[in-house]
Structure 1
Amino acid sequence: MRGRLRTTRWVLLAFVVIVAVAVATVYLTAPRPGGRLDPASTSPAGTHALISLLRDHGVEVVTAADADEVARAARPDTLLVIAQTMYLTSGKTVDRLAGLPGDLLLVEPAGLAREKLAPQLTLGKPTEFGGGEPNCELPAAIRAGVTQLGPVNTYTADDVALTSCYDGALVRYHDGNRTVTVVGAGDFLTNSHLLKEGNAALAMNLAGAAPRVIWYAPQYFETSSTGDRKLADLLPRQVHWIVLQLCLVVALLALAQGRRLGPLVAESLPVVVRASETVEGRGRLYRSRRARDRAADALRSAALGRLAPRLGLTAGAAPQAVAAAVAARCGVTANTAGHVLFGPPPASDTELVHLAHQLDDMERQVAQS
């Protein structure tokens, strides 16, 4: 018995270890989605592989999610890598980045980032297949050799001493104490292109030029709020005009499609329903819901509607007058006639049937008198 328990424990322990190893393996090897040049993404467009290589070679890499983290981590001995994404569109953010200390590495900067962070450069002619031999004296490019940069932008400058490599796809110049490096392509830094030709070497040489690197590739729009803004303030101005135009179109369409209400037109029913079927259907409905009070009201109202013209009374005659007139015609007391015509609802189906017979007798006597 003890031997079986011991064997069972070892089997359970081995099972737990296998499950734990499997879970850890799946977690560590699972793809991590993300946007373009995202340092945490293992997708083809991410840069997780480059960040891991830099850290393996002793470079301290700070991945900043927003401009506030960049400002907190910025130091004069730090290389600030600013990778252009679709979310880097705020002029305030770019101005804030321009005032931070340290060298700059701009990856494929768009118009706003290039004008604010590298105003000395002029955008040249884009090239569909960038790369090849460096053809320059920049050590980082010489050690990398032949590369495959893909589609690139090229840059020129007239007012500064510019070191240009790969036909203008990679340039470097000095702005005071700051070294500014601009590369017109970002694909060679990604996970899917890092192993082509000398891309990995060029990426390591450029991004690992300092012992401490801040990698900033924004993956969402940065907005500043004072707490007093409304949701409508966040919408572009064009949206208000679009909504106004849509309202005008809907109003005009309603006027064009609207129809004036004309006189009522009597139309024959598509199916003729006999009165007896209607009465029988309503009676069954009252019975299924045990609505003896409503059935009695319907019987009394119908009887009063037929009796009043024969008695010479109006539809709004007082109950006392109706009871007295019926009593005079039927030879009963006024209290008896009033109880039948205006009394309490019946308590059972038998009483309801009896009430119907009494009303029918009254109508017949009045009609024959």
Structure 2
Amino acid sequence: MSTALGPTVGQRWRTWRWVLLGLAAVIAVAAVSTWLTAPRPGGHLDAGSTSPDGARALVTLLRDNGIDVVVADTVGDVARAARPDTLVVAAQTFWLYDDEQLARLAALPGDRLIIEPVGKTREALAPALRSSGSTEFGGLAAECDLREAERAGAVQFDAADTYEAAGATPVTRCYRGVLARYDDAGRTVTVVGGSGFMTNSGLLEEGNAALAMNLAGSRPTVIWYAPQHSEGAGSVGDAAITDLIPDQVTWLVVQLVVAVALLALWRGRRVGPLVAEPLPVVVRASETVEGRGRLYRSRRARDRAAEALRSSARQRLAPRLGVRGDAAPPAVVAAVAQRCGLDPQTVAHILYGQPPASDTELVDLARALDDIERQVAQS
């Protein structure tokens, strides 16, 4: 019997520190990779959304081309960044509807690019235009002298609204009125009746990306405003899941994680070197064999005893005969018969025959097996 000496705390730490450092590195790499490659859901024309209706691809292209894109979540953010030389991109969403919100946007300086506005938004931000109908599905040619549209060529608009002048202000209409532009007191106001050409899924169609880049990249600074939530008092539905968890629960989870880590460190300790220990009692092998024989005899288990004798004999014969331990019976019988010059049927009866019917036959079987092993060893 042997026992193990437990390692010291220092030995455990030297063993586990590299494992813990490696595990921490793997977790960090996996977390960063997951964060970088994970899809980012969001609403319509959300600047950070990778969904088909998001605008992350366009915002990334603008930044790659040296355009400073400021993503504004509220009108206050737009007001802080708006300057006479900036472009405010206002995309119509469910949260762009409040009269005060639209009035503050209309009073800000700089050019405007209004995407797919509803009537209330168009009247507040582009009062010189009015709706004149809608277009059918399919690509449309520019058919105007607007430089941004001429360079882009045909664009795939889905069903989009069209616009015309509401008064005496000159208006440039492109793509059958889907795109309209006019000048207002030194600023340029552009309205587009469809938003599909600016989304992540629509940029690859014909001249969509070119038109989106030409319109949104006309100024060195772009303020992207596509509100994704109400700017009023926060509601319960706007709260994140972490905001709904009490602080006590958070600390309880942290403590449980630390406790599990310490338990794993304690239970996973390395076993020390083995140390020999004298046995209290020495049991001879012959006594074990005699005890098992008496047990077989008391239960009249001659079949089990015979199979144990034959199995042990075959295992000892296999390496001497040059056959595998799990070789088929015919192969073992043929090898023994060839080595000893015995009749194959006799050998098969001894090694694989029927269980003996009496104790005398069991003794004879043991002697026959010993005789075969002696002949194989001496041949």
> Shorter-chain TM-score: which interval?
0.5 to 0.7
Aligned to 1:95: 103
Aligned to 2:244: none
Contact 1:155–1:168 under 8 Å retained in 2: yes
Which of residues 178, 185, 197 is equivalent to 1:188?
Answer: 197
Aligned to 2:125: 117
Instruction: Indicate the SS of the match to 1:151.
Output: coil
Which of residues 47, 52, 73 is equivalent to 1:44?
Answer: 52
Superposition deviation, residue 20 in structure 1: 2.4
Superposition deviation, residue 193 in structure 1: 0.9
Contact 1:131–1:166 under 8 Å retained in 2: no
Compared CA separation, residues 140 and 219, structure 1 to 2 (3 A): same
Q: TM-score if structure 1 supplies the norm length?
A: 0.57
* 2-structure distance, mates of 1:221, 1:12: 45
Q: Which structure is richer in relative contact order (CA contacts within 8 A, separation 6 or more)?
A: 2
Superposition deviation, residue 7 in structure 1: 10
Contact 1:37–1:217 under 8 Å retained in 2: yes
* 1-structure distance, mates of 2:177, 2:39: 35
1:177 matches 2:191: no
Higher radius of gyration, 1 or 2: 1
Which of residues 64, 67, 82 is equivalent to 1:56?
Answer: 64
Aligned to 2:136: 128
* 1-structure distance, mates of 2:101, 2:17: 60
Which of residues 101, 104, 116 is equivalent to 2:112?
Answer: 104
Superposition deviation, residue 192 in structure 1: 1.1
* 2-structure distance, mates of 1:126, 1:209: 26
Identity of aligned residues (%): 56
Read off the aligned partner of 1:76 and give its amino acid letter.
Answer: P
Instruction: Indicate the SS of the match to 1:140.
Output: helix
Compared CA separation, residues 15 and 223, structure 1 to 2 (3 A): closer
Contact 1:127–1:154 under 8 Å retained in 2: yes
* 1-structure distance, mates of 2:233, 2:17: 58
1:99-143 Cα offsets, whole Å, 9 max, x none, are 000000000111111111111111011123154211111111111
Read off the aligned partner of 1:119 and give its amino acid letter.
Answer: P
Read off the aligned partner of 1:106 and give its amino acid letter.
Answer: I
Compared CA separation, residues 9 and 77, structure 1 to 2 (3 A): same
* 2-structure distance, mates of 1:86, 1:13: 48
Instruction: Indicate the SS of the match to 2:78.
Output: helix
Read off the aligned partner of 1:79 and give its amino acid letter.
Answer: L
Contact 1:189–1:200 under 8 Å retained in 2: yes
Which of residues 200, 212, 216 is equivalent to 1:207?
Answer: 216
Read off the aligned partner of 1:196 and give its amino acid letter.
Answer: E
Superposition deviation, residue 70 in structure 1: 0.8
Instruction: Indicate the SS of the match to 1:21.
Output: helix
> 1:269-280 to 2 correspondence within 5 Å?
none
Instruction: Indicate the SS of the match to 2:133.
Output: coil
Aligned to 2:231: 222
1:161 matches 2:158: no
Q: TM-score if structure 2 supplies the norm length?
A: 0.55
Which of residues 57, 71, 85 is equivalent to 2:93?
Answer: 85
* 1-structure distance, mates of 2:227, 2:198: 16
* 2-structure distance, mates of 1:30, 1:79: 31
Contact 1:61–1:213 under 8 Å retained in 2: yes
Instruction: Indicate the SS of the match to 1:128.
Output: coil
Read off the aligned partner of 2:31 and give its amino acid letter.
Answer: V
Aligned to 1:243: none
Moved over 4 A (4+): 5-16
Superposition deviation, residue 8 in structure 1: 8.5
1:23 matches 2:31: yes
Q: What is the aligned-residue RMSD (CA, Å)?
A: 2.5
Aligned to 1:295: none
Aligned to 1:65: 73
Across the two proteins, how many residue pairs are aligned to each other? 225
Read off the aligned partner of 2:117 and give its amino acid letter.
Answer: P
* 1-structure distance, mates of 2:228, 2:16: 51
